[in-house]
Structure 1
Amino acid sequence: MDKTFDRLPRTGLILLAAITLGWGLNWPVMKIVLSEVPPLSFRGSCLFLGGVGMLAIAHFSGQGVRIPRGRLPAMLLLTLFNIVGWNVLAIYGVSLLSSGRAALLGYTMPLWGVLLSAWLLGERLDRRRLAGLGLGLTGVVFLMGDGVALFRAAPAGALCMLGAAFSWALGVVLLKRLPLGMPAAALTGWMMLLGSLPMLLVAGVFEWPRLHIPSLWPALGLVYNVLVAFMFCYWAWNRIVLMVPVSVSSLSSLATPLIGVLGGMLILGERPGWHEGVAALCILGAIACVSLAQRPGTKAP
């Protein structure tokens, strides 16, 4: 288990930077994959392969992979919100919205995460974290720009992404509330593997006629999802969640939609504007509030 800190240590900051790039760039990549691969088949297959890969890494590196006795119900609950709820709702949301706008709605997660952590975990919302929340949400609003009108035109997509954000936030809080005492690699592997099974089952019933071998770029997108977005980023995210309070990990994730929007501009041809510049400053300020600054006299436990 990772030691708990009040702010992100150096290792956490390195992992956060890698997650920001890995997950941020994956939003436009998902749009490319979805052009040829049905949504549940896409996410289910990536989760299954990623879960098997993570459990293999945990096993051959000498870590335990067994779920502790009596903890299977907790594992299933964590899987429901962290994996199934987030991935199913997010993949349908991104299919109905532009990749950048879907990322922005998905990363309203910190709002829900901070509120749920105060309610369910009793985490203290000091001025530093409240300032980070305010700056981060201001950045997301600026990044949305005129996207609100687009959300009104696609309410199902917007609701899917908001539901995904809430599911992820609740899953993160439960990960702290229901500790399983497992290495991060094994925990990640089991959640991905168990979460993939209902998706693949439903995909086998409803999406089978639409399956075919994808062309080069969607195929490379699948590989990217398995190796980077799932195996590495999920493992790194669980490490961060176990390191720090939920309010810190949640707000620290706010840089990811910024990369998602920039990635959409580079890969899908969208053009940046002044909204993105203001949003970048706000989001970087939010991360600084919860990850870098520390009140004088305060020590990490």
Structure 2
Amino acid sequence: MSTNAASASSDINSLDLLLILLVTVSWGLNYPIMKFVVTSYPPLTFRAFTFTIGCVLLGAYALRSGESLHVPMSERWLAFKLGMPNMVLWHLGLIYGMTLLNSGRAAIVGYTMPVWALLASVLMFKNTLTLRGMMGVFCSLLATFLLARDEMSNFAGQPLGLVCTLAAAMAWGVGNAMMKNCKISISSITLTFWMLMLAAICFIFLALVFEQDRWAWPTWIQFAAILYAGGVTFAISYVAWFRVARKLTPVASGLSIMLVPMIGLIGGYWMLNEVVAVADITALLLILLAMAIVLIPGRKVT
């Protein structure tokens, strides 16, 4: 282990471990909660609400903690380009995929993202595609194929939902590759605030155009889910993640999200009585294997 990695690990305390648990559980449970809401409430309007709440809360936190929200003129276009795939396209594809798929299946496909980030880095930034990377891509494609075959074999299957969710994961992967390979001086909190602002504007516009005739005041349980998604999933979990991500090594921070699709699958079964098929469990294991292959570096020969 390197000196930096060792010092980073030694800085992790019990509060940090609790925050990692909070992030993992909140992001995992977000999938069945989203599924519950979008089955009875307009999905674009739901997302417009959550992005607005998350933006307001994260902005208030930044201002209270003395974090500048200013973006230099020379970096505003880059911030916009980062926000589109990381926030807008990811959530647009995911929310429509969620209306068609069960929540656990959407979580599994969504977390193929690290593999698509690796592939995007190769195609867009000329990074080398290693044998490990090809193995990760193969595992992700095999998992997606298993789920697609299961969706198409069922009378009520929704392969279009799989396509939307996979496209969302690819967009998120491209956005992550851009984040890793582009230099921007603003803090993660500032960048996330403006990403949430961009997404809020986009989803408010889309809701106005496509869902205005379906608007209704949410019920108390729908409103609670909106507050959870905007307050906990976006604002609180992002702030918690920023705190621990600075201390974790890149491998540790990547591996810490590996339990999210598992919690999404279990949460859908527990909260929504969703059926967990053999294809779901097999695909989940393949995605976890793909993430491990991609995120854990190979041993260097000395």
TM-score by length of structure 2 reads: 0.78
Out of 78, 95, 100, the position equivalent to 1:96 is 100
Give the superposition deviation at 1:49.
1.6
Residues 24 and 263 of structure 1 are in contact (CA less than 8 Å); yes or no, is this contact kept in structure 2?
Answer: yes
Q: Note the residue ranges of structure 2 that are not aligned, 5 or more in a row.
A: none
Bigger mean CA deviation after superposition, 14-23 or 287-296: 287-296
The 2-side partners of 1:170 and 1:14 are apart by 30
For residues 174-193 of structure 1, give each alpha carbon's deviation from its aligned partner in whole angstroms, at most 9, with x where no partner exists. 11222322222221111101
Residues 268 and 274 of structure 2 are in contact (CA less than 8 Å); yes or no, is this contact kept in structure 1?
Answer: yes
Bigger mean CA deviation after superposition, 84-93 or 204-213: 204-213
Residues 41 and 200 of structure 1 are in contact (CA less than 8 Å); yes or no, is this contact kept in structure 2?
Answer: yes
Written as runs of structure 1 = structure 2, the 5 A alignment for 1:162-201 is: 162-201=166-205
Written as runs of structure 1 = structure 2, the 5 A alignment for 1:139-218 is: 146-147=150-151, 149-150=153-154, 153-218=157-222
Alignment-mate amino acid for residue 255 of structure 1: L
Match of 1:79 in 2: 83
Match of 1:66 in 2: 70
Bigger mean CA deviation after superposition, 88-97 or 282-291: 282-291
Q: Note the residue ranges of structure 1 that are not aligned, 5 or more in a row.
A: none
Out of 213, 233, 236, the position equivalent to 2:237 is 233
Give the superposition deviation at 1:165.
0.7
Out of 220, 227, 233, the position equivalent to 1:223 is 227
Pairing 1:38–2:66 present? no
| Shift in CA distance, 209/50, structure 1 to aligned 2, threshold 3 Å | same
Pairing 1:21–2:46 present? no
For residues 219-248 of structure 1, give each alpha carbon's deviation from its aligned partner in whole angstroms, at most 9, with x where no partner exists. 211111011211133455667499766x88
Give the superposition deviation at 1:72.
0.7
| Shift in CA distance, 155/273, structure 1 to aligned 2, threshold 3 Å | closer
Alignment-mate amino acid for residue 39 of structure 1: P
Give the superposition deviation at 1:14.
6.4
| Shift in CA distance, 206/143, structure 1 to aligned 2, threshold 3 Å | closer
Give the superposition deviation at 1:159.
1.7
Count of residue pairs the alignment pairs up: 293
| Shift in CA distance, 272/181, structure 1 to aligned 2, threshold 3 Å | same
Out of 252, 268, 274, the position equivalent to 2:272 is 268
Residues 113 and 170 of structure 1 are in contact (CA less than 8 Å); yes or no, is this contact kept in structure 2?
Answer: yes
Alignment-mate amino acid for residue 164 of structure 2: C
Residues 24 and 259 of structure 1 are in contact (CA less than 8 Å); yes or no, is this contact kept in structure 2?
Answer: yes
Alignment-mate amino acid for residue 105 of structure 1: V
The 1-side partners of 2:155 and 2:108 are apart by 11
The 2-side partners of 1:219 and 1:158 are apart by 27
Out of 93, 112, 117, the position equivalent to 1:113 is 117
| Shift in CA distance, 22/71, structure 1 to aligned 2, threshold 3 Å | same
Alignment-mate amino acid for residue 155 of structure 1: P
Residues 110 and 251 of structure 1 are in contact (CA less than 8 Å); yes or no, is this contact kept in structure 2?
Answer: no
For residues 16-70 of structure 1, give each alpha carbon's deviation from its aligned partner in whole angstroms, at most 9, with x where no partner exists. 5433211111111012211332111111121112112112111110111111231
Give the superposition deviation at 1:77.
0.7
For residues 233-281 of structure 1, give each alpha carbon's deviation from its aligned partner in whole angstroms, at most 9, with x where no partner exists. 3455667499766x88666544322111110000011355666666666
Q: Percent identity at matched positions? A: 33
Residues 49 and 226 of structure 1 are in contact (CA less than 8 Å); yes or no, is this contact kept in structure 2?
Answer: yes
What secondary structure sits across from 1:70 in the alignment?
Answer: helix
| Shift in CA distance, 242/166, structure 1 to aligned 2, threshold 3 Å | farther
For residues 121-170 of structure 1, give each alpha carbon's deviation from its aligned partner in whole angstroms, at most 9, with x where no partner exists. 45566677666666777777778893453599423212211110111111
Match of 1:52 in 2: 56
Over the aligned positions, Cα root-mean-square deviation in angstroms equals 3.8
Residues 136 and 282 of structure 1 are in contact (CA less than 8 Å); yes or no, is this contact kept in structure 2?
Answer: yes
Residues 109 and 166 of structure 1 are in contact (CA less than 8 Å); yes or no, is this contact kept in structure 2?
Answer: yes
The 1-side partners of 2:194 and 2:184 are apart by 12
| Shift in CA distance, 9/42, structure 1 to aligned 2, threshold 3 Å | farther
